[in-house]
Each structure stands twice: as structure tokens, then as C-alpha cells.
Structure 1
Amino acid sequence: MNELGERIRKLREQCGLSKAELARRVGVSDVTISYWENGTIKRVGHSRLEPLARALRCSIAHLLGKARETSDGSHAIVLSLPLYPLTASPETIGISAMPISHLSMGFIDNELIRKDDYLLIPQKLEHFDFCPQGTLMLARKCARFDGNGLYLVEKNARLMIKRVEQDFDMTLNIFGDAESHDPEENAQSNDLVFHAAIPVIWPMQVMTF
């Protein structure tokens, strides 16, 4: 029974990845992905395990079928999300951006995490509304407004965290926090570039990884 291959296939489908996309993230050919999944290649090389687990958002232990069992006999899947440094530069989250780490999300309900979510941490000497130094943000990719809330947005080639709300006339307004002195606060904004919604912000001191 090809348990590893079946596990790779299921995790890939859960992440919404094609074989070609998974291959690109791992650094192999899509033929290799097919061989892993159908059992033609029964083992994944050590150098490929970490990028494969990262792309499939699981621990290496779970990928290899060695995840710990919960009290009901099911396997506990600990997701791993990429962590990016947040600066005012849009290059922070650009295509060529590289994460500074990957964090196992043992401190959060896995059901909260969706495909392509990632983590952001404000860098020193940078100020962002609603998320001071020592906080960690869950970022959910989006290209447009999707309900009132916090968003990572770009305006005038600068990344910002703002609360965006929609009026009854469908006009979007942006707001900073109480300590913000940005002259554009509370102004109508039709020229924002949306990068991500921010559904959760955690203080670092309450986390265990």
C-alpha cells in the first residue's frame, strides 16, 4: 500500500495545488510528483522532505505518517506557515520575497488557516497601525475588499495596516488606530491596492511554538 504517495496526494489536493505548482515549490518536476503519488518512487529524498512538508503545510512527521495521535485516535496535523518581515516596502511580500522562518501553528485552531495564508511580523523602527512591535499577524491573500476589517494595503508605494469600512453608498473609507497621525486617516480611498486581510493579531508573549 502506497501510504506516503496517497498522503502526498491528499495533502496536495487539500492545499489546492496542482502537481505542477507543487513541483515548482519543491524544486522537482511534475513527473516526480506523479511518481511519488503513484508509488513508482517510494521514498522522498531527505533534501526534499522539508520543502515538500512546507509546501503541503504539514510537519515532516505527519508527512511520513509519524504524527502523534490524539485521544480519539486521529492524527494531529500541525500546520507550518511562512513568516515574512513586514516593512513599508511592497517588496516585503513581492513574488521574490523570502520568508525568514516557518512557524508550526500549534497555538491556533488549524481550521482557521486557509490556503496561501502567511504570517507577518513588524520590523524594528517600522510603525503599523493596530499591530505594534511584538505582535504577529495572520495574513490572508486577497485582491479586493471583502468586508469591514483590517487589511494589509498599499498606497503610494507604501504598505500599511488599515481598517477599511464600506459606506452605504459603497464608498471605501480607511482608518488608522487612535495613535495615528496620518493626515489621510478617515479619508475616502479608491486607490488602495489590497494585498491581504488580517483576521487575527497575536501578542508574541502568549504564544508557544
Structure 2
Amino acid sequence: MDALGPRIKQLRQQANLNKAALARRVGVSDVTISYWESGAIKQIGHERLVALADALGCPLSELLDDRPPPSPKVLQLADTPPVPWHEAAKHSIALPLELLFSATELQRDCYLVTPGPDQDFDFLHHGDLAAVSPTTTFQHIGLYVIEHRDKIQVRHLQQDPTGELRMRGESKTDSDTIVVDASLRVHGKVEARWRLQ
């Protein structure tokens, strides 16, 4: 049952709970939650396990499952549709809240994406990694994976004062900023990005 501590932490993060909130729901201290997650306390009574599963919103069997959680698969992005997360059997990951810039508006369920072989995008170059949450709508200013004129692209989207949606590439010049037309389809919002150094 060595996997119980990391599983508690993973399920707590997926439930969008901090240690104090989980502790209140279970009826223990947040220090106890820390001890459970670190493995310092390995034996948890049945009554507490049931309360923990209930607080985490999962069945007891999921909490006690000794199999390690599946490793997230990195999907390869190509400039030809469809985007890789539209295919069946692709598993999303849950980003830790500390990686999200504004937890009230951003999504935690994401796909890890990197450019495929011989692919390069504005804002996402060979070897870079991005966490992309699927969406079909513009949510707020930021980077999006879009389909425009039958090509998958990564573009910065924002609304101008008149309410028109504008997109630009990485060059940041005014001539690179264009008003979005009806051919644009939003496929995902870039929630976090890691550059190859």
C-alpha cells in the first residue's frame, strides 16, 4: 500500500482541495493529511478511509488501488487536422493548481502536447511542451490551439474594445494581428508551456 500517500495527494488535487479543506471534510488535522500523503503514517483506519474516499468523491476501491496511476502520454501536434486529443483513448492529466495562473477561469484537465516530427508552431517549437485544455470557445486573452484555413496553429487570441476577436503570431507586430473570420475553430487553450532550453 505504498502508493496510498501519492494517490491521496493526486485525488485531492484532482478534487481541487487543499490539505486544510480535505482535513475538515474527513475530520482530521491538515498535518494528518500531510503525514498520510508523505507516507509517514501508513496505517489508516477503515472509518477514516471511508471518510477520505467520500471527501475525495471517489469509490474506496479507487483510493486503495495499488496500481500506479498511468503516466501521461505526450501527444504530438501536427499542422494538419484533427488535433490529437480528438482521437479516441487519449488520457488527460490534471494540472496542479500552482501551475495555473488564474484558477477561477482556467481548466485543470489538460493534454500534454509537443510538436510532432518536422513540425514547428508559433509559441510552440520543436522540443517544447504545452498543457492544453480542450475548448471550442474563446475564454480570455491567451494562447490557443486553433484551426484556421485548414491548418492547425498556435495563436495568441484577444478581444479588442469593439468586441472583435483578433489573433496574432509570435512576432507581435501590428501587421501580424488579424481580425478572426468565420473559418477559425478553437480546439484548445494553452494553460502552461515549457520551453526547451
User: TM > 0.5 between the two?
Assistant: yes
User: Are residues 1:197 and 2:184 paired?
Assistant: no
- Write out per-residue CA displacement over residues 95-141 of structure 1, whole angstroms, 9 at most, x where no aligned residue: 32555x98897xxx543354321211111211210111121111122
Determine the structure 2 residue equivalent to 1:134: 127
> Quick one: structure 1 residues 157 and 7, their matched pair in 2 at CA, closer, same or farther if it must change by over 3 Å?
farther
In the alignment, which of 165, 175, 191 is matched to residue 172 of structure 1? 165
Dislocated runs of 4+, deviation >4 Å: 2-13, 41-44, 101-105
* One-letter identity of the residue aligned with 2:74: L
- Write out per-residue CA displacement over residues 63-112 of structure 1, whole angstroms, 9 at most, x where no aligned residue: xxxxxxxxxxxxxxxxx64421111233333432555x98897xxx5433
CA contact (8 A) 2:99 2:192 kept: no
In the alignment, which of 90, 94, 98 is matched to residue 81 of structure 2? 90
Q: Structure 1-normalised TM-score?
A: 0.54
In the alignment, which of 97, 102, 112 is matched to residue 99 of structure 2? 112
In 1: Cα distance, 2:98 partner to 2:63 partner: 30
CA contact (8 A) 1:84 1:92 kept: no
Q: CA RMSD in A?
A: 3.7
CA contact (8 A) 1:120 1:136 kept: yes
- Percent identity (aligned): 21
CA contact (8 A) 1:130 1:177 kept: yes
Structure 2, unaligned runs of 5 or more: 1-45, 101-106
Structure 1, unaligned runs of 5 or more: 14-36, 55-79
- Write out per-residue CA displacement over residues 181-208 of structure 1, whole angstroms, 9 at most, x where no aligned residue: xxx9422113221121113221245xxx
In 1: Cα distance, 2:64 partner to 2:192 partner: 38
The number of aligned residues is 144
CA contact (8 A) 1:163 1:174 kept: yes
* One-letter identity of the residue aligned with 1:135: D
In 2: Cα distance, 1:161 partner to 1:91 partner: 14
In 1: Cα distance, 2:63 partner to 2:97 partner: 29
